[in-house]
Amino acid sequence: MTRRPLEILDQALNGQPVIVSLKGGREIRGILQGYDVHMNLVLDNAEEEINGNIQKHGILIVRGDNVIYLSPSVE
């Protein structure tokens, strides 16, 4: 059975902690709160490691064209 990527986003990852890998080597963690067909993402409790420091954001809206991949954050 084939599963569409956006279905996976909806079923397996929505409301879950995820890691988002962005172009340019940036990586953001947060709780996936929403998305759309462009892979624009809404992350809650988002944080990003920059030069060893954790920068905390509240809600973060990521423009989809920056995304390389996302996966569940296991911890």
- Which ranges of the chain would DSSP assign to H, the alpha helix? 5-8
Tell whether residue 45 is a contact of a copy of itself (CB under 8 A): no
How far is it, in rounded angstroms, from Cα 44 to Cα 24?
A: 22
Length reported for the chain: 75
Task: Work out how close the CB of 18 gets to a copy of itself at its nearest, in angstroms, rounded to a whole number.
Answer: 9
Comparison of 11 and 52: residue with beta carbon closer to a copy of itself: 11
How far is it, in rounded angstroms, from Cα 17 to Cα 27?
A: 13
Comparison of 52 and 58: residue with beta carbon closer to a copy of itself: 58
User: x/- binding map, residues 11-40, to a copy of itself, per CB under 8 A?
Assistant: -xxx-------xxx-x-x----xxxx--xx
**Which residue in the set 52, 53, 58, 75 belongs to the binding site for a copy of itself (CB under 8 A)?**
58
Strand partners, 64: none
